[in-house]
Copies of this chain bind each other. A is one copy, B any other.
Amino acid sequence: MGAFNDRFLRAANGVGEKTKPVWYMRQAGRSQPEYRELKKKYSLFGITKDPELCAYVTKLPVDQYNNDAAILYKDIMTPLPAIGVDVEIKSGIGPVIHNPIKNKADIERLGSLDPGVDVPHVIETIKLLRTQLDVPLITFAGAPFTMASYMIEGGPSKSYENTKAMMYGSKEEWDLLMDKLSDLTITYAKAQIAAGAQAFQIFDSWVGTLSASDYRTFVKPTMAKIFSELKKEDIPLITFGVGTRHLLKEWNDLDVDVIGLDWRTSVTEAREMGIQKTLQGNLDPAILLAPWDTIEARAKKILDETENDPSFIFNLGHGVTPSILPDTLRRLTQFVHEYSGRNQ
Contact = CB atoms under 8 A, between A and B. Distances in A.
A293 to B, nearest CB: 10
A291 interface: yes
A260 to B, nearest CB: 16
A290 B159 contact: no
Interface residues of A, number: 33
A241 to B, nearest CB: 12
Listed residue (A160, A168, A169, A210) with the most chain B CB atoms within 10 angstroms of its CB: A168
A243 B208 contact: yes
A25 B121 CA distance: 49
Given A161-B285, A285-B159, A286-B159, A264 B211 contact: yes
Given A161-B289, A208-B243, 16 more contacts: A156-B158, A159-B286, A160-B286, A164-B284, A164-B287, A165-B289, A168-B286, A168-B287, A168-B289, A168-B294, A169-B291, A210-B264, A211-B266, A212-B264, A245-B245, A245-B246
Interface of A: 156, 158-162, 164-165, 168-169, 208, 210-213, 243, 245-246, 263-266, 284-287, 289-291, 294, 318, 321, 323
12 contacts: A156-B158, A161-B286, A161-B323, A164-B290, A165-B286, A165-B290, A168-B291, A169-B291, A208-B243, A211-B263, A245-B245, A245-B246
